[in-house]
């Protein structure tokens, strides 16, 4: 049970990090569009 929760937490952290990076990259591209 503990191992299962640990894996879930790791997966959630990874998913959160990937989504955060995606949103950050989107914001950066939008800013570049406005500056250009």
**Rounded-to-integer distance, Cα 35 and Cα 26, Å:** 14
**Percent of the chain surpassing pLDDT 70:** 89
| Number of domain units in the chain | 1
Residue-wise pLDDT for 18-29, tens only, equals 888 889 988 888
pTM score, whole prediction: 0.48
Which helix (H) or strand (E) covers residue 29, if one does?
Answer: helix 2-35
Domain with 27 in it: 1-36
Q: Is pLDDT at 32 greater than 70 in this prediction?
A: yes
Mean pLDDT calculated for residue range 7-36: 84
């Amino acid at each position: 049970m503990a191992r299962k929760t640990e894996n879930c937490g790791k997966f959630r952290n990874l998913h959160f990090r990937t989504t955060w990076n995606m949103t950050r990259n989107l914001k950066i591209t939008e800013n570049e569009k406005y500056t250009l």
